[in-house]
A and B are shown apart, each in its own frame.
Chain A
Amino acid sequence: MSKRRLLALSLLGAAAALLPGHSPYRQWYVYRATHLVVVTDEARPGALAIASAVASAIAARWPQTKAVPAAARSPVEVVKLLSTGQLQVGLLPAAEALEALEGRGRFAEEDKVPLRALAVLGGDLLVVLEGCARQRAYDIAQALVESREKGPLAKKRSLQGPAPIPFHPGALDYFEGRTAAKEG
């Protein structure tokens, strides 16, 4: 099975999995499952530009993801959107990603959120939930490294860290030269 086919199937699988259950607007979930939404917060100057570059890089490498950027009100909202399964990929300041992982600071009132890093982008981390499919994490890491976008994405070596939270195994597979796992 081709990698593109596999990615398309994983997207469809994610959409199907999101249809039942806790689904505030199932149709919205179809949109959010058929578009890879890279969400950051609008409070920090420049954050949306980085998220846009990330989305462009992913869409260039994997057009079927229809990757788009999105801007939430604050890092807390970004974490909420990820932890509630409304969106899958977030861009957060590294320190806030760690606080969300450990359930402290601005995130003390929430449960700990099992965030995993896909890449380091300057002072930010591109993150997903621990349960993100390994193949998807691999593909996103690959898209960033192979991207011709400028800015933080141009610093290829720094994408691999170090990061204050664990990397997702799929991203590590790519960075460490292993073949992508076939399952999440």
Chain B
Amino acid sequence: MKSLLITAAALLAAAGPSFAKQVRIPITYANDVPVPCADDRLRTCHNRWHPDIPAAAEVNSGDTVIFETRDAFDNPFNRRSTPATVAAANLNLIHPLTGPLYVRGAKRGDVLAVTMIDVGPGPDHFGYTVAVPGFGFLRDVFTDPAIVHWELGPLESDGKTRFATSRDLPGVRLPLHGFAGTIGVELGGPEIETAFTREEELRAKQGFVLPPEPRDAVPSNLCGPHGSAKDRCLRTIPPRENGGNTDVKQMVKGTTLLFPCFIEEGCGLSIGDVHWAQGDGEVSGTAIEMNAIVTVKVEVRKGQAAALNNWPRFESNRAGVLRELAPDNFVATMGIPVKPAGVVMAPEHWIDVNSAFLLLPPLRNESEDVTLAARDALLKMIALLTGPTSPAPSPLTAEQAYLLCSVACDLHISNLVDVPNYVVSNFLQLDVFRGPGE
């Protein structure tokens, strides 16, 4: 009898995929908009990383999982929001994530392979792009809050294309290339300490580091002001060994994300901060942010974390998986590390206070500086879009151009050898200017 049971179990295991099931991790809605993460009685939402956050659902390797997710800011914005609303955003709420998902059989040292099957908008079909003062690549140039509202459209007649359009950017439309801006697994205790220690070292040097913030942390009984782990619940802003807020637009459906598992059991996958579309660079700090429905397939690859050197990767062998992301009807600007004398980029403030070159002369050309080259390429694109030869139906304001670039311009490193002027190119697919007019 015992051998019969073992044989049956072996057959079941071998036949795994045919027994795979679909599991949904729901969130609570009110009028098609998710209730705030902290108020959701389903307890499927958290906004900090910590290994002791209770699992939201359990699945087997090979199962398909549907994550219902909240937008990056936990829904403070809607179709009536104004820049005044952006100014009141509560930044402690970023990012509400759905999960963590407990995958049976996944242990520390394994890899969780997450294949993106589908990414679509939530039931409100609303998206937004904001410029948050003090955040974003050109935060020294664009200092005031701004918002672009997006209507996330239905399937077109071709049965596969969807477009986002905005009253704030007449004549512009952006196709759906959805991906999770934040997707990752729980860090283990040792990794939490490693990340915390190195980030504290950087913070002590005035680096742009967000320390643990108990206020508005979810789950509050673990990460909140009276929580047992309030000083070790890590913020979700920085990507780390667990993936997280990587904002890689190429993680579209058809790609497989590989995460090392750090916790003892379950791996703990969470997803949120989903984007309808984003430019490489996400320069304003936001993409087309949306509530979303994300479908993935999870598989455990035993003992393979060491082969990844305990860092995430992503891959695909599906022909053409990124083809739709590649610009084929475009204009591109090129940037090199030059600037007006005396201008100090926002990221350079940190370098200045920690560098022997604190009193750099007001150079107009810097050496081998990719960041400055990217800034130059971006400023040139903004100048193009706002000038008389703009490819837009009518010239944009600088603010509109900045936010459009955040969702549609791709900054690519072109060379890292031609000293001192490395080149960064900035591509804009011109098909975005086929949307409805005013």
Binding site for B on A (CB under 8 A): 22-32, 35, 37, 39, 42, 48, 52, 68-73, 77-78, 80-81, 83-84, 86-87, 111
The residues of A that contact B92 with a CB separation of less than 8 Å are 24, 80, 84, 86
For window 195-216 of chain B, which residues contact chain A by CB distance below 8 Å? 208, 210-211, 213, 215-216
- B419 interface residue (CB < 8 Å to A): no
Q: Do B88 and A22 touch (CB < 8 A)? A: no
B143 close to chain A: CB less than 8 A: yes
In whole angstroms, how far apart are the Cα atoms of A61 and B80 in the complex?
Answer: 30
Interface pairs (13), CB distance under 8 Å = A22-B211, A22-B213, A24-B213, A25-B91, A25-B135, A27-B139, A27-B208, A29-B134, A31-B134, A31-B143, A77-B76, A78-B88, A80-B216
Shortest Cβ-Cβ A-B pairs, 10 listed: A27-B134, A31-B133, A70-B88, A28-B134, A70-B87, A72-B88, A24-B91, A84-B215, A31-B134, A71-B84
Question: In this assembly, does B85 line the interface, its C-beta being within 8 Å of a C-beta of chain A?
Answer: yes
Q: Are B139 and A37 in contact (CB under 8 A)?
A: no
With A80-B216, A84-B216 known as contacts, the answer to whether A71 contacts B133 (CB < 8 A) is no
The answer for the CA separation of A52 and B87 in the assembled complex, in Å, is 13
Bitwise, B122-158 to A at CB < 8 A (1) or not (0) is 0000000000111100010001000000000000000
Complex Cα–Cα for A111 and B226 (A): 10
B211: min CB distance to chain A, Å = 7
Bound-state Cα–Cα, A84 to B126, Å? 29
Q: A28-B132, A80-B90, A84-B215 are in contact. Are A68 and B139 (CB under 8 A)?
A: no
A83 to chain B: which residues have CB within 8 Å? 215
Given A42, A68, A84, which contacts B80 in the complex, CB threshold below 8 Å? A42
Q: Which residues of A contact B235 (CB under 8 A)?
A: 24
Closest to A78 in B: B88
Contacts of B84 in A (CB 8 A): 48, 52, 68-71
**Which residues of chain B are within 8 angstroms of A78 by Cβ–Cβ distance?**
88
Pick the contact of B90 from A23, A29, A42, A72 — CB < 8 Å?
A: A72
The answer, yes or no, to whether B246 is at the interface (CB within 8 Å) is no
Let me know if B134 and A30 touch, CB within 8 A. Answer: yes
User: Which residue from A24, A39, A52 sits with its C-beta under 8 Å from B88?
Assistant: A39
Once bound together, how far apart are the Cα atoms of A113 and B332, in whole Å? Answer: 52
B170 within 8 A of partner (CB): no
B383 within 8 A of A: no
Q: How far is the CB of A7 from chain B (nearest CB, A)?
A: 21
B213: A residues at CB distance < 8 A:
22, 24
Are the C-beta atoms of A27 and B215 separated by less than 8 Å?
no
Cα separation A60 to B375 with both chains bound (whole Å): 36
Least CB distance, A35 to chain B, in whole angstroms: 8
